[in-house]
Structure 1
Amino acid sequence: MTQTLEQETAPLPDIKISVSQVFGIEADLEVPAYAKPNDHVPDLDDSYVFDRQTTLAILAGFAHNRRVMVQGYHGTGKSTHIEQVAARLNWPCVRVNLDSHISRIDLVGKDAIVVRDGKQVTEFREGILPWALQTNTALVFDEYDAGRPDV
């Protein structure tokens, strides 16, 4: 995974939405959301049908800044479920496939040699984890069981 991640500021959610109105789930809950999407908000699938229990668990994660693990058989829509919740919250969300090609450096960052003012200097280039923390972006670690042990 070689990509340059832009530095962005991390605005906080600026609205609250009704779970019953947005997700069609009978619950007297409001969760934080963003009024406007950015480039990292997943595309909305209007025909997506939400599982109540899974949706409430994911929403609790967004509402209380907690990690949520969704498990199930391969290809059953676990990652899509998270992305569709994020889409309705206008919450930035990036899927990271933890296959054998991703390394700890991709996630955390690395030292890089750059030329600045005609001189070579070493600077730290952040990986996707620090970027996600700074930009308030939800990360979906897909197929975590296929990841390398050092990651």
Structure 2
Amino acid sequence: MPTPQRFDVATTFNVKAPKGLEIEGFAEEDHPKVPLRQPYIFRQGLNAVLAFLRDAGGDALLLTGPTGAGKTSLIRQVAARLYWPVQELTCHGRMEFADLLGGFQLLQGETRFVHGPLAVAAREGHLLILNEIDLMDPAELAGLNDIVEGAPLVIAQNGGEVIRPHPKFRVIATGNSAGSGDQTGLYQGVLRQNLAFLDRFRVLQVTYPDPETEQAVLDGEVPDLPTEIAHKLVVVANEVRRLFLGESDGASPQAGELTLTLSTRTLVRWARLTVTFKGAPNPLAYALDQALTARAAAEERTAIHRIAADVLGPLWSGQA
């Protein structure tokens, strides 16, 4: 059985927290399923995640928000610092509940039942992360209802094997919708989920970082990028997001018309490519094309490049 270990919240996550506040994780830092620890600035949602890990109370946790806002990375980096093993997979429309349980495979000339991510997580006390859960058939997801509430997992395919969930077992899902379907038409394949299934979730809304946090992310991820340029890239990203989300200030004709956004993930890609192509005639525009706008419609590419040119000024057409 894994060895429990207590961690001081303030020092473990580099945040302000009451003195003596602790969270229990595991001691086996070399476990192969512990996510890779990376530099990370903890912000919104950390308290909610830690409260859920401390005592799920028969709930699962759903993180919802726009693409690239950091839903999955938040969970991974919390788990990395608590040495909490993770079973992670991305859902899709053809996935079945049986895929989570496992199945028979031919191993060394012998047919054996190999447990799937749900079965392993329940037995060993791992986090089960289901990304893009709103792409999966709600009828298949209903199979999670009982195990989330603490009932034993019964695997009929393996002779009726019964797995009683480990006290540390947690189910965490991410999705671009909150289970009510995609009202924007931007996330193809998103399905409206069953109300009884959603009723078993706590819901945490994750948004893009504030400008100061995002600036710090760029400083850490792309240290060779000049601070002045990094600051302006963040400004561009937030303007594109405002138009994507339809938050018009009445000044822009594109308000609410953009069908793609500049996520934190894409912002870091833009910054890295800008440094990579710093010898190009216009590295910022060239990098932005590769990072995002080459897949945009012509009008949207023009609009986003115009925003970038207005914000970056002489830097846009000069050497970064």
Please indicate the TM-score interval, normalised by the length of the shorter structure.
0.7 to 0.9
Work out whether 1:91 is the aligned partner of 2:80.
no
Unaligned stretches of 5+ residues in structure 2: 141-320
2:128 to 121, 132, 139: 139
Distance 1:113 1:124 in 2: 6
Match in the other structure for 2:24: 32
Q: How does 1:25-64 map to 2 (within 5 A)?
A: 25-28=15-18, 29-37=21-29, 38-46=31-39, 48-52=40-44, 54-64=45-55
Letter of the 2:8 partner, please give it.
S
Match in the other structure for 1:20: 10
Distance 2:61 2:3 in 1: 20
Match in the other structure for 2:317: none
- Structure holding more helix per residue: 2
Distance 2:64 2:95 in 1: 21
Q: Deviations over 1:62-84 (max 9, x none)?
A: 21145322111122110111000
Distance 1:90 1:82 in 2: 12
The 1:133/1:113 distance shift into structure 2, 3 A limit, reads: closer
Match in the other structure for 2:2: 11
Report the Cα offset of residue 27 of structure 1. Answer: 1.8
> Is the contact between residue 7 and residue 23 of structure 2 (CA under 8 Å) also seen in structure 1?
yes
Unaligned stretches of 5+ residues in structure 1: 1-9, 115-119
Report the Cα offset of residue 102 of structure 1. Answer: 2.3
Structure 1 runs of 4+ aligned residues shifted over 3 Å read 123-126
Percent identity of equivalent pairs: 30
> Is the contact between residue 92 and residue 136 of structure 2 (CA under 8 Å) also seen in structure 1?
yes
Distance 1:32 1:140 in 2: 19
Match in the other structure for 1:74: 67
Report the Cα offset of residue 25 of structure 1. Answer: 2.0
> Is the contact between residue 57 and residue 68 of structure 1 (CA under 8 Å) also seen in structure 2?
no
Match in the other structure for 2:217: none
User: More relative contact order in 1 or in 2 (CA 8 Å, sep 6+)?
Assistant: 1
Work out whether 1:150 is the aligned partner of 2:120.
no
The 1:35/1:113 distance shift into structure 2, 3 A limit, reads: closer
The 1:44/1:106 distance shift into structure 2, 3 A limit, reads: same
Distance 1:142 1:31 in 2: 24
Letter of the 1:33 partner, please give it.
G
Distance 1:149 1:49 in 2: 34
TM-score (norm 1): 0.76
SS in 2 for 1:21: helix
The 1:113/1:146 distance shift into structure 2, 3 A limit, reads: closer
Match in the other structure for 1:117: none
Report the Cα offset of residue 109 of structure 1. Answer: 3.6
Report the Cα offset of residue 108 of structure 1. Answer: 2.5
Distance 1:20 1:113 in 2: 45
Report the Cα offset of residue 11 of structure 1. Answer: 1.6
Match in the other structure for 1:7: none
Report the Cα offset of residue 12 of structure 1. Answer: 4.5
Distance 2:88 2:46 in 1: 18
- Structure holding more strand per residue: 1
Q: Deviations over 1:43-69 (max 9, x none)?
A: 0112x11114x1111111221145322
